[in-house]
Structure 1
């Protein structure tokens, strides 16, 4: 299935180090070659880049590795298609929609079987993926709770708990969601996170011959949280999420987390994914 990468930071952070290793998984060090995308926020709006070509050879990905991306919230995705034509740009993640005067970004890893949520019509898919249908349903539910004004952060999190639990009944539902302030991460089968903070250390990428001493590039008050399908570095303290775990991340730290119910079928897929590591 697909690969996810998300980042939330207390201050705008440079993502090029992580992106170099992550992009290699799109057809070079792994077989996820059905498209690539990244969205990064600048306050309430996001810049979105997608390409139907493999990330390892995509000119878009290559340009971004040279571009000094600095953002407090980033969502990226490398696609291994299960539903939707892989050659269609509209099926590339992440997807974006507006709610309460902000852009929201969403990327999904998994496969939702026979998933056809009802819609009030505010949010419609452009492409043909189960992932975009799930995102539209998510946005629809938040809008129904509060059509014009933002919900409180706690209500958003509790709504995501309920919706994630219901949607995961249809299959594997690993996802990342951000509104430019918070990053939400839900695990069905495989997802890891890392809080990078003082005292910073040296890190080496798993997928590329590249190391960085973060003590030389960060200040004591810097802090960021990175979430990925699989750890990006060899020598940092990555933590594995459990099936049904949902994280709310803000200012580079975990604000709240919840353990949701998961089906036996999804739990078995989680165990199978561990056997493949």
Structure 2
């Protein structure tokens, strides 16, 4: 599986130390890396289909201060899709009202037929990119029916419904950014943690510091963050994901195919 990271705060902070710790996990997640620094007027994104520890480009980035208030990172262990740049996270797409969306995913979609139609529309061949295309389609439908832009509450409610349904028999640890809200979701035990202090929220697949205040993200809920604060929190759904032998075999067969085994 992949690992994911998010920093959300009310003011820009330098986070090189945490990013370096995060990318040090790339020995076990060697199929690509990504970094997204969401500025007020643009998304600054870098990604490569190489192991993070081997990337000269990433070393150059981390040799300078990485400062931001909405920062996302990803290291990939491919369970679906080839090891190519279009399959590296984060994924970016705009909706019909020119709102840019970003998504990073730790998990696998084993069964969700509504995503099948995006196979021919996506740039790569990952289930993760299809999730983003599906969400944007649903947002477009909602705003077309409404006849105007959605509010942040309406978007949260819509994503809550979509993600709860997507999580049935699928591992769905997600971080999504829509320019206003940062959405966080996990539906598997001990796979996503957060630290909340005076600097803001830091969320990662594994704790990145020795601080004893890291806590597990509450499962089966959707959270929305703005400026280091939780502004919306859903009721829990019932779709906890638990690996079975069937899931493991699907993933193992795909990883073997990437290595030509």
**TM-score range for the pair, normalised by the shorter chain length:** 0.7 to 0.9
Corresponding residue of 1:14? 14
TM-score (norm 1): 0.80
Query: What SS does structure 1 have at the residue aligned with 2:114?
Result: coil
Q: Unmatched 5+ residue regions in structure 2? A: 245-261
Aligned 8 A contact 2:115 2:131 in 1? no
User: What residue is the counterpart of 1:186 in the other structure?
Assistant: 185
Partner residue, 1:69: 66
Tell me if structure 2 keeps the 8 A contact 1:85–1:91: yes
Q: Which residue of 2 aligns with 1:56?
A: 53
Q: Distance in 2 between matches of 1:98 and 1:167?
A: 21
Q: For residues 75-154 of structure 1, what are the structure 2 equivalents within 5 Å?
A: 75-86=72-83, 88-99=84-95, 100-117=97-114, 124-147=121-144, 149-154=148-153
What's the CA shift for 1:268? 6.1
> Distance in 2 between the 1:195 and 1:182 partners?
17
> Aligned pair 1:33/2:9, yes or no?
no
- Render the CA deviation track for 1:188-234: whole Å, top value 9, x for unaligned: 1121111120xxxxxxxxxxxxxxxxxxxxxxxxx421111111111
* Counterpart position of 1:214: none
CA RMSD of aligned residues (A): 2.1
Give the Cα separation in 2 of the matches to 1:78 and 1:129. Answer: 14
Aligned to 2:5: 5
- Inter-CA distance 168–17: structure 2 relative to 1 (3 Å threshold): same
State the partner residue of 1:229: 205
How many aligned positions are there?
Answer: 238
Change in 2 beyond 3 A, CA 1:263/1:180: closer
How far apart in 2 are the matches of 1:115 and 1:228? 26
Paired with 1:32 and 1:118, the residues of 2 have a C-alpha distance of 25
1:40–1:46 contact (8 Å) kept in structure 2: yes
For the 8 Å contact 1:75–1:105, the answer to whether it is kept is no
TM-score (norm: length of structure 2): 0.84
In the TM superposition, what whole-angstrom CA distance separates every residue of 1:124-170 from its partner, at most 9, and x where no partner exists? Answer: 31110011111111111111111474311111111111011111114
Structure 1 residues 181 and 72: alpha-carbon distance in aligned structure 2, compared to 1, 3 A threshold? farther
Unaligned 5+ segments in structure 1 are: 198-222, 270-277
Alpha-carbon contact 1:165-1:261 (below 8 Å) kept:
yes
